[in-house]
Chains A and B, each alone.
Chain A
């Protein structure tokens, strides 16, 4: 059974960098699939942040591209999200996902982690 678990600071100061880790169990990232990040601000809808292939190829939301980096460490079976220069608008529940294909769906999701941007 594939499981994903997000981890990282729950509070980040404005202008700093938000860093999250997604630890995958029950499946080896190196075996394939894409891996992605999606967020949901309080009271709002889902927003795609970006997706990475196990080989390292990345796809980013154009509105966030200048601030986002997604990377993968297959040896640790983890992938990561870095979002720089955060503001209150980046406060959200962040989900990590396993993605069938960049044109397809997310078939496994983590529980999500709330990150608040505040001084």
Chain B
């Protein structure tokens, strides 16, 4: 039971747009702490996709975007590509736990 809630899986066809939600509470996302998103591909180091709700590190395509509203955040991927098939995790800080919290992860399948 993760502190942040994500859908276990999402899917989309190549070229489509999908979103992955990340729902928290008043002690993390709702308290104003930033949300960050990571991409995990088997056999490779996890990659930071989005930081500070909606900022992309250098090298991350603008097909990836992030947003935050209230106690939730979302990751959107447009123009889906086969190489986007991966697990995605959101992360924030929680004041009740005084530490980092993660979502349970979402497996993206590109049909």
- Which A residues have a C-beta under 8 Å from some C-beta of B? 40, 45-48, 50-51, 59-62, 95, 100, 102-112
Please state if B89 and A46 are interface contacts (CB–CB under 8 Å): yes
With CB as the reference atom, state the residue of chain A lying closest to B90. A46
Interface string of B86-111 (1 = CB under 8 A from A): 00010101000111111111000000
Instruction: Determine the chain A residues whose CB is within 8 A of the CB of B101 once the complex forms.
Output: 48
Name the 10 nearest CB pairs between A and B, nearest first.
A48-B100, A105-B36, A105-B51, A46-B102, A109-B45, A45-B105, A109-B46, A45-B104, A111-B45, A103-B93
User: Mask for B31-47, Cβ within 8 A of A = 1, else 0?
Assistant: 00110101010001111
How many chain B residues touch the partner (CB < 8 A)?
Answer: 26
A105 partner residues in chain B, CB cutoff 8 A = 34, 36, 48, 51-52, 91
B45: A residues at CB distance < 8 A = 95, 109-112
Knowing A45-B2, A45-B102, A59-B99, say if A107 contacts B48 (CB, 8 Å).
Answer: yes
Whether A107 contacts B51 by the Cβ 8 Å rule is yes
Contact of A103 with B33 in the complex, beta carbons under 8 Å: yes
Is B79 at the interface (CB under 8 A from chain A)?
Answer: no
Contact A103 B34 (CB under 8 A): yes
Q: How far is the CA of A45 from the CA of B89 in the complex (A)?
A: 8
Give A47 to B101 CA distance when docked, in angstroms.
7
- Identify 15 residue pairs between A and B in the complex whose beta-carbon atoms are under 8 Å apart, listed by A's number: A46-B91, A46-B105, A48-B91, A61-B100, A95-B45, A95-B46, A100-B51, A102-B93, A105-B51, A105-B91, A107-B48, A107-B51, A108-B48, A110-B45, A111-B45
Most chain-B CB neighbours within 10 Å: which of A45, A47, A59, A112? Answer: A45
Instruction: Please determine whether A47 and B102 come into contact, CB atoms closer than 8 angstroms.
Output: yes
